[in-house]
Amino acid sequence: MAAASSPAAARAAAPEASADRSTSGGARYLSKIEARGDPGYAATSVMLGQSALCLALDRDLLPDRAGVLTPATAMGAALADRLRSAGHTLATQRIFQ
C-alpha cells in the first residue's frame, strides 16, 4: 500500500477534530481544531510541548488559579496563542437554530 493512501497519511493530510456543545443556557457552539501531522503523535506532542512551555515561560500571562484545572482554564489565551504560532488552527462559532 502506498504511503499516500494509508489511513495515517489521510489523517496527517487533513487532521481535524470538532465538538458540538451546548451551554447551560441552551446556546450551542461548534469548536474545531486543526493541526499538521498525525493527531495521535505529531499534533498531540506539539500540544503537550506548547502546554509545558506555556506553564514554564508564560506564568505572567496565566490566570491566578490553583487546583485541578483543564488546559483552557489553566492557560487559556496564552496556550491558544502558542498553539496558533505552532501551526494549529482553533475556531469556535455559535450555532443558531
Using the 8-state DSSP alphabet, how is residue 97 labeled?
Answer: -
Q: Name the DSSP letter for residue 3.
A: G
**Cα atoms in the Cβ-side hemisphere of radius 13 Å centred on 83:** 23
In this predicted structure, what is the pLDDT of residue 2? 46
Q: What is the pTM of this model?
A: 0.73
Complete edge-to-edge strand list for the sheet that includes strand 16-22: 16-22, 28-34, 89-95
Q: What is residue 1's predicted lDDT score, i.e. its pLDDT?
A: 42
Q: How many residues are there in the chain? A: 97
pLDDT for 66: 80
| Dist CA 94 CA 28 (whole Å) | 6
